[in-house]
Amino acid sequence: MSKYQHSSMYCYPESEVLVNLFNLMDEEKLKELEKVYTLFRLSELRIKQPADPVDMEAFIDIHRSILQDVYPFAGELRKEMISKGSSSFAHPKFIDAELRRIFAELKQDNYLKNLPRSEFVPRLAHYLAELNALHPFREGNGRTVREFARQLALNAGYQLDWENIAEPAEIINAFVDSFNSSNVRLENLLDEIVYT
């Protein structure tokens, strides 16, 4: 069963399976292949020098890099509404403009460079919450946002290691809280995994 609550133009007809480069119709097998390929691409990104700055184009390229082996829409902004649970994400007609707004603000913040840790963590939480609420891609938003955060932190002189979070559900819950109420939980989580 899809985590999204409606039929999708990105899925095979009369199916909840995303159109994929393997032409697999079995969602479980697709998820297994997706995990293998995306872990490989994420490991490639970890050994590669990140773009500097990690701007909007770099952010979109992160998505393309992670999902390029699996989905034909890798690196493309979504063109339909999506929701998870009770959360509906941004309407597609607003995604490009909002993404540009977020990255213009990030540029004004000098991509969080030269900030003391006490300021860096809440500002990073702010941008991650904004990108999560936007959910600009049809699939792979969480992985893209986390890799973006890692690269942004690296360029700002910090290390960020999501693997230090024992329970992946903690990450999801922190983003849900940031969507529904406040960034406090996300800030606390980031405070545990950002170091110099």
Q: Are 138 and 95 in contact (CB under 8 A)?
A: no
Where along the chain do its domains lie?
A: 27-195
Architecture category of domain 27-195 in CATH: Orthogonal Bundle (1.10)
Gap between the Cα atoms of 64 and 142, Å rounded: 13
Q: Could you tell me the mean pLDDT of each successive run of 10 residues in the chain, 196 residues long?
A: 63 96 97 98 97 97 98 98 89 98 98 98 98 97 98 98 93 94 96 96
Q: Are 124 and 162 in contact (CB under 8 A)?
A: no
Query: What are the b/e assignments for 62-72, b being 16+ CB within 10 Å?
Result: bbbbbbbbbbe
